[in-house]
Amino acid sequence: MLIGVPKETFPGETRVALIPSSIPALTKVGLEVLLEAGAGAASGFADSEYLEKGAKTVTRDEVFAKSDVILQVRGLGANPDAGKADLPLLRPGQNLIGFLEPLIAVDEVRALAKVGATAFSMELMPRTTRAQSMDALSSMATVAGYKAVLMAADLLPKMFPMLMTAAGTISPAKVFVVGAGVAGLQAIATARRLGAVVQAYDVRPAVKEQIHSLGAKFLEITLDSAAAEDKGGYAKELGEDFYRKQRELMTSAVAGSDVVITTALIPGKPAPKLITREMVEGMGPGTVVVDLASERGGNCELTEPGETIQTGGVTIIGALNLAASIPYHASQMYSKNITTFLLHLLNKEGQLAFNLEDEITRGTLVTRNGEIVHPTVKEICSGA
């Protein structure tokens, strides 16, 4: 069975779906890897490294024409414009695995079904212990949380740590992290390593212990948030009244912070607006907001996705695709996730054998045999 890895075509995308060190795990079970020449170059992986591990380099057309399985970082849906060029290259029954944005990319999902591709979405990976090694969203969130702190530290006109110097004592920077998922927890850990005083808030009271374990303070906001998490471990939408009360209680925390990092996302929904214009106006000059929810409109009311703006002395970073800004390690993590998932889909003979009784396989399968088969995605597409 042939596994194809095309070069990513989304603007600014520097990651690659498979790195050289992941290839032996595939060849060991009888798979062969075809790589579009130069696919790993932007991530720091030369074609020669792939060849040393047993891959073959070919053209993009050959990758799609010969491969049984296509591995991508951004498949159609997560690459809505440039990804359309790959549609004519896909064939019925061909398997596609990657980020596909199936909860919002309705037209693209329909197009994948129409060409007869069997598509698996890495975004839909269950948040379970068994699927943890395949959870690419968490891997990329780790990278984003880390980079968000470095971006804030670079722009903040203060140093993060407390320092005792001959010129006097330098007070530590104060960082407020909104959302303690994977990105938020990594932001907390990175800010703490740099010496900042960190407090964090999440609607899920259960993460309080995790926040404390990283040396940060948990901001206590007493609200009824029992329904803040779904069965899959993802955040749920709680309604505008809840968010209004939350914003009122967060105002003082934002005003007292040098850096605010927001990470709150709800799958398939616009990002909740948690940081209002009034909150930003209450921040001091030189302070920084890094909005990791920019791709869904942002958690800050003033965020301009993809732009860094200043308003009233406050810098607001509308961060997009931060994982691609550290492509070497982001690709390393993604490659491990997607390789583990591909091996999960194989039987003992090294052939694809979809066990739809398995929650991982069933939960990530979007299209098959010309139909949209994922219940949630099917419902969204039928109602759009």
The percent of residues in the chain predicted with pLDDT above 90, rounded, is 87
pLDDT at 143: 98
Q: 192, 234, 325, 362: which one is catalytic?
A: 234
State the alpha helices, DSSP H only, in the chain: 23-27, 47-52, 60-66, 106-115, 136-155, 182-193, 208-213, 240-255, 277-281, 327-344, 359-364, 375-383
Structure tokens at 68: 């049984």
Note the pTM of the prediction, 2 decimals. Answer: 0.92
Q: How many CA atoms lie within 13 A of 3 on its CB side?
A: 27
Mean of pLDDT values over 236-254: 77
Q: How many CA atoms lie within 13 A of 285 on its CB side?
A: 2
Q: 22, 43, 67, 138: which one is catalytic?
A: 138
Give pLDDT tens digits for 101-123.
Answer: 999 999 999 999 999 999 999 99
* 246, pLDDT greater than 80: no
pLDDT at 230: 54
The percent of residues in the chain predicted with pLDDT above 70, rounded, is 95
* 229, pLDDT greater than 70: no
pLDDT at 268: 85
pLDDT at 234: 55
Angstrom CA distances, 96 to 110, 169, 365, stand at: 14, 56, 10
Amino acid letter, residue 220: E
Contacts of 185 (CB under 8 A, 6+ apart): 145, 207, 210, 211, 214
Gyration radius of the chain's alpha carbons: 22
Residue 47, burial from CB neighbour count under 10 angstroms (0-12, 13-18, 19+): middle
First to last CA, the chain: 37
Mean of pLDDT values over 331-343: 98
Angstrom CA distances, 90 to 37, 59, 61, 62, 379, stand at: 19, 15, 10, 11, 25
* 348, pLDDT greater than 90: no
Return the minimum-mean-pLDDT range out of 16-20, 238-242, 379-383.
Answer: 238-242
Contact (CB, 8 A) for 5 and 26 = no
Q: How far apart are CA 134 and CA 344, in angstroms?
A: 9
**Strand 314-317, strand 308-311: pairing:** antiparallel
Q: 132, 213, 252, 310: which one is catalytic?
A: 132
Q: 21, 47, 68, 127: which one is catalytic?
A: 127
* 242, pLDDT greater than 80: no
Q: How far apart are CA 196 and CA 161, in angstroms?
A: 5
Q: Indicate if 325 belongs to the active site.
A: no
Select the more confidently predicted residue: 246 or 94.
94
Contact (CB, 8 A) for 199 and 216 = yes
* 236, pLDDT greater than 70: no
Structure tokens at 21: 């060190």
Select the more confidently predicted residue: 50 or 237.
50
Mean of pLDDT values over 345-374: 94
Give pLDDT tens digits for 140-182.
Answer: 999 999 999 999 999 999 999 999 999 999 999 999 999 999 9
pLDDT at 6: 98
CA-based angle 104:106:109, to the nearest 5?
Answer: 110
- For the chain, the average pLDDT equals 93
Q: How far apart are CA 323 and CA 4, in angstroms?
A: 22
Mean of pLDDT values over 286-314: 97
* 210, pLDDT greater than 60: yes
* 266, pLDDT greater than 90: no
Q: 86, 135, 202, 291: which one is catalytic?
A: 135
pLDDT at 221: 75
List, in order of start, the domains of the chain with CATH numbers.
2-134+327-383 (3.40.50.720), 140-320 (3.40.50.720)
pLDDT at 205: 83
Angstrom CA distances, 10 to 14, 16, 105, 110, 118, stand at: 9, 11, 15, 20, 21
Select the more confidently predicted residue: 137 or 228.
137
* 383, pLDDT greater than 80: no
Q: Indicate if 334 belongs to the active site.
A: no
Neighbours of 372 (CB within 10 A): 22
Angstrom CA distances, 202 to 149, 264, 270, stand at: 18, 9, 18
pLDDT at 91: 96
Q: Indicate if 132 belongs to the active site.
A: yes
pLDDT at 84: 96
* 239, pLDDT greater than 80: no
* 233, pLDDT greater than 80: no
